[in-house]
């Protein structure tokens, strides 16, 4: 079972290069960065966890630029978004950005996507909140079309372009698409239809959700084993690691709670010690 790291990096935090280099040196398998292009000051949309909006949301780095910088100083660690707001991005530009990151990292890119919860943020990108799901999936499939075709075209309700050329192409032919959505029939049907991996936030209700995901895959004649399970945003403990491994998670992604330079390094080292002790106990 792989172990990755996610953190909300800002202009005041540890740099993405230092975090990636440190995480790779400590043996972590992935670094995944979230995205908020901006936060409208109206603040009409409540945070989905029911908390006051942390200051970091206003200051997040562009994940693709940050990950490209990290790619230049690392050799092994996966570099991905966790998650990017696909509906807010032009699909042709997104396909180019992701393929370029994949080229510069020698095939280590991961595109994690979600729908977004901030109505005002999406509205500033001319995305109607009710349409964000459909736009997300058309954007993802348009990217896959561009990556996989020398002459790509796509005709959907929200994304539409005639035959075109676009390089570079992903090193391995495509880039894994990880989908960050909460459990529920409609969301899990989307995971079954579109995802290379499901990235639930935390682990609450995960075992029951995996059964529902299996049913959603069965309904479209897809093998559920094709979809990796990658819980995001937890803190490691031996019991949690045991449970994640037992239910078949391919990777778990721990969250750094303090992204101050020295604090982030300490958190990484402490998490690594927990993981190493757990692996040692398992033999």
Q: What is the DSSP letter of 138?
A: H
pTM (2 d.p.): 0.96
**pLDDT over 70, % of the chain:** 100
Question: What SS3 state is found at 203?
Answer: coil
pLDDT band at 87 (very low <50, low <70, confident <90, very high): very high
Tokens 């895959």 appear where? 217
**For residue 80, what are the β-bridge partners?**
32, 110
User: Can you list the domains of the chain with their CATH numbers?
Assistant: 2-255+268-282 (3.20.20.30)
Cβ atoms < 10 Å from Cβ of 163: 10
The answer, yes or no, to whether the previous bond of 106 is cis (omega within 30 of 0) is no
**pLDDT over 90, % of the chain:** 92
The average pLDDT across 89-109 equals 98
pLDDT digits (tens, 9 = 90+) for 7-57: 999 999 999 999 999 999 999 999 999 999 999 999 989 888 788 899 999
pLDDT band at 283 (very low <50, low <70, confident <90, very high): low
Distance CA 36, CA 124 (A): 12
Q: In the structure encoding, which two tokens stand for residue 5, read together? A: 């790291």
pLDDT in the model for residue 181: 96
65 contacts 138 by C-beta, under 8 angstroms: no
pLDDT digits (tens, 9 = 90+) for 216-258: 999 999 999 999 999 998 899 999 999 999 999 999 999 999 9
pLDDT in the model for residue 281: 80
Residue 126 has pLDDT above 90, yes or no: yes
pLDDT in the model for residue 280: 84
């Amino acid at each position: 079972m792989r172990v990755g790291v996610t953190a909300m990096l800002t202009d005041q935090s540890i740099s993405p290069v230092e975090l990636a280099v440190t995480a790779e040196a400590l043996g972590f398998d992935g670094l995944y960065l979230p995205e908020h292009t901006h936060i409208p000051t109206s603040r009409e949309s409540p945070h989905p966890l029911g908390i006051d909006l942390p200051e970091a949301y206003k200051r997040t780095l562009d994940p693709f630029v940050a990950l490209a910088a990290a790619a230049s100083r690392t050799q092994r660690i996966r570099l991905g978004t966790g998650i990017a707001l696909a509906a807010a991005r032009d699909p042709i530009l997104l396909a180019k950005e992701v393929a370029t990151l994949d080229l510069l990292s020698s095939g280590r890119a991961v595109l994690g996507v979600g729908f977004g919860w901030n109505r005002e943020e999406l509205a500033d990108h001319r995305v109607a909140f009710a349409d964000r799901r459909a736009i997300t999936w058309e954007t993802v499939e348009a990217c896959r079309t561009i990556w996989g075709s020398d002459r790509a075209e796509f005709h959907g309700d929200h994304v539409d372009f005639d035959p075109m050329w676009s390089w570079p192409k992903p090193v391995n032919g495509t880039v894994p698409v990880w989908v960050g959505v909460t459990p529920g029939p409609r969301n899990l049907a989307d995971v079954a239809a579109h995802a290379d991996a499901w990235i639930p936030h935390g682990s609450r209700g995960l075992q029951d959700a995996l059964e529902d995901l299996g049913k959603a895959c069965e309904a479209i004649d897809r093998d559920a084993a094709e979809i990796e399970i990658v819980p995001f945003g937890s803190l490691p403990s031996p019991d949690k690691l045991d449970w994640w491994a037992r239910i078949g998670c391919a990777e778990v992604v721990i969250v750094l709670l303090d992204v101050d330079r020295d604090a982030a390094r300490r958190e990484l080292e402490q998490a690594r010690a927990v993981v190493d002790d757990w692996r040692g106990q398992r033999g």
